[in-house]
Chains A and B, each alone.
Chain A
Amino acid sequence: DIQMTQSPPSLSASVGDRVTITCRASQGIGEYLAWFQQKPGKAPKSLIYDVSSLQSGVPSKFSGSGSGTDFTLTISSLQPEDFATYYCQQYNSYPYTFGQGTKLEI
């Protein structure tokens, strides 16, 4: 299985900040990478697919980049509703695997 490693595991930031979360794959996955947001007690929400394409209804403050093994999720102008846990996921090779998550805290 492809291992997905996110860094940092947790991140403290303030309202208005711009933050970047990194996801590294144990082998190349092309551009088959997605990002999800999960708030406490809630189902995950799909944010980005194919590295940088926004799911319908997702604001442009979320952006993704990268290719091969190294990827980033950037969130600009943080708002209180953005504080959550973020997961990356590869879908290049089955079984599809998730990163361990990055908790974004105020």
Chain B
Amino acid sequence: EVQLVQSGAEIKKPGESLRISCKGSGYSFASYWISWVRQMPGKGLEWMGRIDPSDSYTNDSPSFQGRVSISADKSINTVYLQWSSLRASDTAMYYCARLRDNGYVIDFWGQGTLVAVSS
């Protein structure tokens, strides 16, 4: 069974750093790209970027470039989303999702990680 298990909810202060994770199981991890999707409170889905875990090649959305970084450790089947300095506007639910068809089509989603940033 394909599973993407994300790390738990985080409560942080503005300016702090954070890394959340997404661990894949039940499939050949390095064979599928992983994407990150943001959902701000009460809002829709926003594409943040994707990574090929086989070589850690990334495609970031211009809307998020410079704000977050995506990385992977294929030895432990895990992809990360990282901030160096959080803002209150980063408060959102973050989902990882597996991409089939060479990085195009989302087929499986993680359960989401809630990030709350407040002073």
- A residues contacting B by CB (< 8 A) are 1, 32, 34, 36, 38, 43-46, 49-50, 55-56, 87, 89, 91, 94-101
Contacts and interface: CB of A to CB of B under 8 A. Distances in A.
B27 interface: no
Interface string B85-119: 00000000001010001001111111110000000
B66 interface: no
A72 B104 CA distance: 20
Contacts of B63: 1, 95
Interface of B: 35, 37, 44-47, 49, 59, 61-63, 95, 97, 101, 104-112
A94 to B, nearest CB: 6
B107 A98 contact: no
Given A94-B59, A95-B61, A95-B63, A87 B105 contact: no
